[in-house]
Amino acid sequence: MQTLGAFLDAAVARAPAHEALAAAPRAEVTARLDWAALRAASRQAAKKLLLAGAGKGTHVGFLCSNRLEWLPIAFGALRLGAVLVPLSTLWKRDELAHALAHADVQLLVMLDRFLRHDYVGTLSSIVPELADAAPGALRANRLPALRGVVLIEGEAPGCARWSDLPAAVDDAFLDAVEGAVSPTDVATVFFTSGTTAEPKAVVHAHGALATAAGGIAGRLGIGPDDAWWGHLPLFWSGGFVLGALATIAGGGRLVLQEVVDGPSALALLEREGCTIMAGWHQAGPLLEQPDLARHRLRLCKGTRADPELTARLLGPGHQAVGCYGMSETATFVSAARWDDPEPVRLGTFGRPLENMEIRIVGPATGEPAAPGQEGEIVVRGATLMEGYYRLPRATTFDAEGFFRTGDLGFIDADGCLHFTGRLKDVIKTAGVNVAASEVEAALLRHPAVQAAHVVGVRHPTRGENVAAFVVLRAPDGATSEDIQNFCRESLASYKVPRHVFVVADADLPRTGSGKVEKTSLRRLAEARQATGTPF
C-alpha cells in the first residue's frame, strides 16, 4: 500500500517531463502542468498549508471547482497527513453548514465565488464572527472547530489569501512530515447521501484510495496515451478516485473542464483527444448537439451507460465496461475488463476487483444466497471505507467486516455481478446518491405542502431523475413550478425534483398496512414522464 503522496511521486517518476494536467475554464485550455510541475506545485501547497496551521489529522475543507489548483492543493494537504474534506460547489447554505460542522473542518480553503454562488456571503451568514476575526483566529459558535479560511481568489474580512500564504519550509522538514504519514492514516472524508435526511461522511484511508486507483486503471485499460475528460467534479469520489486517481495510476493525462456545455465540451474533447469517459450525466448535452457528427472524438474507454447510448457516443469499437460501486468502496467494487468480450462488458458489472470480496445474501436473514439467486450485495476488502465519520463501526459493518450496500443483485455462473435494484430509498442521479428523505424534508417545509413522496425515474443518461408526488393543503395552494423554485433555495441543483406531480392523498398507491408503495409510484411517474400526462 502507498500514501497518496508516494502514489503521486511514483507517477511523476515514470515520465516527469510529460504533460499531466490541462485546465480549461470552458472550451480552451488556459494552463498546463507536466508531472514534475504538478509534484512541485503540490509540495508548494503543502508548505503553505503547513504554515497556515495544517498538519497530520487536520481536517481541511476544500470548496473549489475543477480548476488547475484543485489537485496541487488536494495533494498538498494529503502529503501532510491532513484529512481532505472536499465540499460541493453545488451546495446551498444549509448543506454547506451541515458538512462543515459534521466533518469538524478546521481549515477551509475555498473560492470566493463560482457562477451564481457567493461563497463568502454564504459562509458569512453561517459564521457572522468571520467579519471581525483575524485571519487564522476565527472563533465561531456554530462551527467551533473552524479556525481559518483561505481564499483561492479575491479577498474578504477574516480570510487569508492563498497567494499571500508563506511557503518558507525547508524541503527536508517537509520530507520528514510526509514520512510520518502511513497508508493506514485517514486521507479523505467524502459526503454521500444515504437513506437519512442528512448526507453521510465517508472516511477513506490513503492505502484504500491508492489501491482503488490502480485496480480501476487496470479494468479500464488506462495507459500513457489516454486522457480523461474531467467534467466529473473532483469534490465527488467519482471525480477524484475514478477520474483523477485512476488516470494518474495508469499514467494518462487529466483534462479538467470547469464549466461544461455541449459546444465547449465537444471542442475541448476534439482538441485534447480525450479517450476516457467516466460519468455519463453530461452525455445528453453532447448527443443533442446538431454538429456532433462533424467532431472527431476519440472517447473509447471508461464506464458504460445504456449500450445504445454508449455506442452512439463512444463508437462501435469502444472498450467501455460495466461497473458497480459507490463512495463507500472508493467507487468500483466490481467491473468488467476493457478487453473482456462484449457480452461481459455490456451485459454485466464484471468480477470483483483484486482484494475485494462480494457476497449475495438474503436481505432479511443475512445468510448466503444460492448461486445465481438474487439477494442483497454485501462487500468487504482493501478499498472499503474506514466507516462513516461520527458513526460507530458496529452500525455500519457486520461481524465479519462486510458492508451491506442496500442494493440487490446476483452473481452468474461466470462470477460476474448483475445489479437488479435497490432496497434503500436512494436515487442515483448523474452519478450521485440523493436521499429521498432529504428531498421530502425540503418539500414539507413549503407551507402549501401537506405530504411529499420522492422516487427515482429512469433516465437514459443521468441514470435516474428525482420525481416528487406532493399532496397540497389546498387544491390551488401551489403549482409544480412554485414547488421546484422553493426547493432550489435550499437544495443543490441535482437534488431538486425534475418532475413534481400534484396528487390527491386518496390517489396514492398504498400497501395493505397503509404505507405509500414507492414501487408503484415509480411506475406511475415513468408512465407520466413518457406520455407527458400531468396530474
Q: All 3 cell numbers of residue 414? A: 461466470
Helix (H) or strand (E) holding 46: helix 35-51
CA-based nearest residue to 303, from 66, 461, 90: 461
Q: All 3 cell numbers of residue 43? A: 509540495
- 215 vs 376: CA distance, rounded Å: 24
Q: Is the pLDDT of residue 513 over 60?
A: no
Return mean pLDDT, the chain. Answer: 94
Rounded to an integer, the average pLDDT of 138-149 is 97
370 DSSP 8-state letter:
P
Please check whether residue 280 is in contact with residue 261, taking contact to mean a CB–CB distance below 8 angstroms.
no
Check residue 531 and give its pLDDT.
66
The answer regarding whether domain 321-424 maps to CATH 1.10.510.10 reads no
At 519, the pLDDT band (50, 70, 90 cuts) reads: confident
- Model confidence pLDDT, tens digit, residues 270-320: 999 999 999 888 888 899 899 999 999 999 999 998 888 899 999 989 999
209 DSSP 8-state letter:
H
- Model confidence pLDDT, tens digit, residues 215-230: 999 999 999 999 999 9
Q: Would you kindly state where each structural domain of the chain is located, as residue ranges?
A: 1-299, 321-424, 426-531
Rounded to an integer, the average pLDDT of 134-138 is 94
Please check whether residue 93 is in contact with residue 126, taking contact to mean a CB–CB distance below 8 angstroms.
yes
Burial of 188-199, coded b for 16+ CB within 10 Å and e otherwise, reads bbbbbbbbeebb
- 203 vs 327: CA distance, rounded Å: 9
- 126 vs 108: CA distance, rounded Å: 14
- 186 vs 167: CA distance, rounded Å: 24
- 357 vs 445: CA distance, rounded Å: 42
Q: List all residues 6 or more positions away from 141 whose beta carbon is below 8 Å from its beta carbon.
A: 129
- 359 vs 460: CA distance, rounded Å: 29
- 468 vs 238: CA distance, rounded Å: 26
Rounded to an integer, the average pLDDT of 478-500 is 94
CATH hierarchy code of domain 426-531: 3.30.300.30
- Model confidence pLDDT, tens digit, residues 333-353: 999 999 999 999 999 999 999
Q: Is the pLDDT of residue 195 over 90?
A: no
Please check whether residue 306 is in contact with residue 460, taking contact to mean a CB–CB distance below 8 angstroms.
yes
C-alpha dihedral over 426, 429, 433, 436, to 10 degrees? -40
- 135 vs 177: CA distance, rounded Å: 24
Helix (H) or strand (E) holding 435: strand 432-435
Please check whether residue 517 is in contact with residue 509, taking contact to mean a CB–CB distance below 8 angstroms.
yes
Check residue 535 and give its pLDDT.
41
Q: List all residues 6 or more positions away from 1 whose beta carbon is below 8 Å from its beta carbon.
A: 183, 184, 206, 207, 210, 211, 382
CA-based nearest residue to 219, from 416, 401, 377, 66: 416
Q: Is the pLDDT of residue 462 over 90?
A: no
3-state secondary structure of 492: coil
0.75 exceeded by pTM:
yes
Sign of CA dihedral 485, 487, 488, 490: positive
Helix ranges, 52-154 (H): 70-79, 93-102, 119-126
Check residue 113 and give its pLDDT.
97
The answer regarding whether domain 1-299 maps to CATH 3.40.50.300 reads no
CA-based nearest residue to 489, from 446, 521, 427: 446
Q: List all residues 6 or more positions away from 446 whose beta carbon is below 8 Å from its beta carbon.
A: 478, 482, 483, 486
At 196, the pLDDT band (50, 70, 90 cuts) reads: low
CA-based nearest residue to 425, from 380, 464, 384, 373: 464
Sheet holding 59-63, edge to edge: 160-161, 148-151, 107-110, 59-63, 83-87, 186-192, 200-205, 387-388
Rounded to an integer, the average pLDDT of 91-118 is 97
